[in-house]
Structure 1
Amino acid sequence: MTQTTSRIFDDFARLMNDAAGVATGVRREAETVMRAQAERILRELDVVTREEFDTVKDLAAAAREENEELKARITALEARLATPDAAE
Structure 2
Amino acid sequence: MQTENRLFDDIARVASGATSTLVNIRTELESMIKQRLERILTDMDLVPRDEFEAVKAVAAQARAEQELLEERVAELEASLNKNLPNKGEKRYKKPPKK
TM-score, normalized by length of structure 2? 0.64
Once the 2 structures are TM-superposed, how far is the Cα of residue 42 of structure 1 from its aligned partner? 2.3
Q: Identity, % of aligned pairs? A: 43
Give the match for residue 18 of structure 2.
Answer: 19
Rg comparison, structure with higher value: 2
Gaps of 5+ in 1: none
Aligned-partner SS, 2:46 = coil
Give 5+ residue unaligned stretches, structure 2: 85-98
Q: CA, structure 1 residues 68+7, in 2 after alignment: closer, same or farther (shift >3 Å)?
A: farther
> Post-superposition shift, 1:36?
1.3
Residues 13 and 66 of structure 1, relative CA distance in 2, 3 Å threshold: farther
- The CA distance in 2 between the partners of 1:17 and 1:80, in whole Å, is 89
- 2:71 aligns with 72
Name the SS of the counterpart of 2:62 in structure 1. Answer: helix
Aligned to 2:81: 82
Deviation readout 1:7-60 (Å, 9 max, x if unpaired): 423432332233222212221221112211222222223222222222222222
The runs of at least 4 aligned residues of structure 1 exceeding 6 Å deviation read: none
What TM-score, normalized to structure 1?
0.70
**Residues 1:6 and 1:79: Cα distance change in structure 2 (over 3 Å):** farther
Tell me what 2:55 maps to. Answer: 56
The one-letter code sitting in structure 2 at the alignment partner of 1:27 is R
CA distance in 1 between partners of 2:7 and 2:82 (Å): 103
Residue 38 of structure 1 corresponds to: 37
The number of aligned residues is: 84
